[in-house]
Structure 1
Amino acid sequence: MQPDPRMAQRPPEPTWWWFLVPLFTCGYGTFLMVLIGGRRLRSRFHTIAAFGYLAATLGLCAGVSFYSSSRSQGQPDSEGTWVVALLMLIYVVGIVHTAVVASRVRWAAATGPTGPQVPVMPYPVPMPQEDPALAAARWRARRREEARQLQASQPALASELLIGRPDLPHRQYDDGGLIDVNHVSAEWIAGGLQLDLSLADQIVAAREARGGFSTPDELVVYCDGITPERLALFRDRLIFIPR
């Protein structure tokens, strides 16, 4: 089943909620969202920034631990300044950075995805339903033309294939219904061309009297029952192999 091309381009993934991750994690999730955005955008800057946030987060964890240890020992809390600075970096700046990255990811998805695109399958062009009988008739006409060309270019091969000789047994080549008027009997002429047997007998008699025909028009000249209009009905089924 062909996929619907209207479903080929998926709507952009919503990214408005990305800033909520650093907001509700106090900045600890900033590096993750910036890293995801950097990979989506294939941006080296945002990817490096994400690892910078990760380093700042690890530094903040170490600073908080060191600051807590210093406070418990009664030491001055001079370290609190840079701890607060790191917290502001990964929290406030991280929220803004995440929101910017999210908007760029959303815009890139709407205007043209940077990743592998979903292939668009066009609607199949409806083919007109051809009548089986008409298709078979056209196929036989093509076979007759091919067999006639083969007889003209390679008569020895055509003789081996028994072109125009449906009366002979063991014939395997399908010539599309050609009738060799110079060789088949009156019964085969009548059956192959849908003629009365009396008219087929007349054709055979004229053939024997003249030693064979060479063109279809000779049938009109030497056979009283064959008119040009009637000849046109089966002209393409005739072949005249020399005797």
Structure 2
Amino acid sequence: MTDRPAADSPRFEMLGAVRAFRSGRQLDLGPAKQRAVLAVLLLHLGKPVPTHRIVDAVWGDEPPENGANVVQKYVAGLRRILDPDRSPRTPGELLALTDGGYLLRAGSLDIEDFRNGLARADTSRRAGRLEEAAGMARSALDLWYGDALGGLTGPVFDAARNRLTEEHASAWELWAEIELSRGGFAGLVSELSHLVEEYPLREGLRAQLMIALYRSGRQAEALAVFRDAREFFLDELGAEPGERLQEIHRRILRNEPLGGGPPSGAASPSSTAPPSTTVFPSPASPLLAGSPPPLAAPPPPDDPMPVVVPAYSPASAGWPGGAPRPAPPGWPTGYAAPGAPVSPGSPGAVPHGWPTGALPGELLAPRRERIRWLAVLVAAVLPVATCTSGSWLYFAWTAVQRRSARYWATAAGYLGTFVLAFALIVTDPAPEGSVESTAQGAVGVVLGLLLLITSSVHGALLAAHPGDTVEARARRDLARHFAAVDPAGARQSGIGRPDLLRLFDDGGLIDLNHAPLREIARLPGVTPYEAHRIASVRYESGPYLSPDDLVRRGLLPAKTLRRLAPWLICVMPEQGPRA
């Protein structure tokens, strides 16, 4: 912190678009890249940030040639805005250059106010001061004015936004639990219904909605919430709701009392019965730092499906050694026979309850991308049907779907070739009425025929190899969100484990903490030696907290990681990170 008066220190806000205020007046932070540089410094508030990390976060795969100079220019602009009283050519106080990089010292930050407000609210809740706790929690939630880091894109900002979104959802659960403890059931239903739509993977919010409906005398609607939750989780994740939701469902069916207040027409709302709902903050959230830990999430069912293979160790890098156990004819090699005495964590274990005579691949084999013959046909016929004028259309559509500049360049090349061929034919100087063409016209015709054949064959081949798609990216985003909310459920569902038989399609993710060596070695650009080091280091030095650890631990070059990052995930092992 600087020695200047607190009133003169700027206040920064990131729970929405990045903003800065001084004395109640909003400051103009300059161009978008300059605001992005400020956001990187705010994400590491009070810690020096090396220039190369700022460049990677702001520009990603397309850094400027003179990145250090560009960052220096933006830092100078931020100093003029944030520290206008500083004399020119004197060291900055608010934004300083240290041996470790640029260091930002802020007067106040809304993220810290948000977290501190929630910690005070939880402390008051535990002390029984529910009205005070509700006000504190609501004040903290009111600090949000949009999507965190609004307008900023890139892996660094997306990861930070996801973490903050999880904290936001946990804050809503804390507020809802406080209100349930106060007995405000009917008034919560509308807001909790909206929150369930906004955060569909948060089982805590669904549980609180069920309790609010049940305690308001709306038992049928509470049961309908569970049915909707079960249908959603089965469709999207291929897994049943957690034990917590199922226990609440069973108690409602038996018409048993639930915590959070008395049933309608029974005891007074001032009942001291402890609430049965408990906030489960995300593991990375410092939401309740300094206070007693919340109750642990309930354990998974006894017979999870599919069974998850243990984390990598030198002794278990591949399939179990030795001769396979006896199995029926046609049973896949490496899998135990149905009912064979295999430990639940064994790679050869078969999920409990498998239908008699069914092979694993018939139910839970990872979904393979099939050739989409309709797309192949459209891509091949489109240039012919449009007389080459639409030869570029399929490639432009592919560029949109796969977010690839390469396909945009391909589409532009085909379009330019068509324009050139058309111009050569139209401007052919052959005499009017002549059936002969000049060399120019002949070149245009040949160029058009080559364009027709090339674009048709190229488009068909491209359609036959789908690659990355919007649907796959959406599945990966959903899987990452699920893993952040419920790591245990992610492990059970086999997220990031293409080697497992599973129902859940995660869009092609690879879990660096659990995927076997052979799957890591299949990543493009990763050599067998690098894959072995990745698998060994996670066993020797502890699990990876994020894919960036591969660069921090010297296992992969930053350029390779940037190319692979969309397909990497780090699901926390059951025992958590090692000390």
- Same fold judged by TM-score > 0.5? no
Q: Which structure: larger Rg?
A: 1
TM class, shorter-length = 0.3 to 0.5
TM-score (norm 1): 0.43
TM-score (norm 2): 0.19
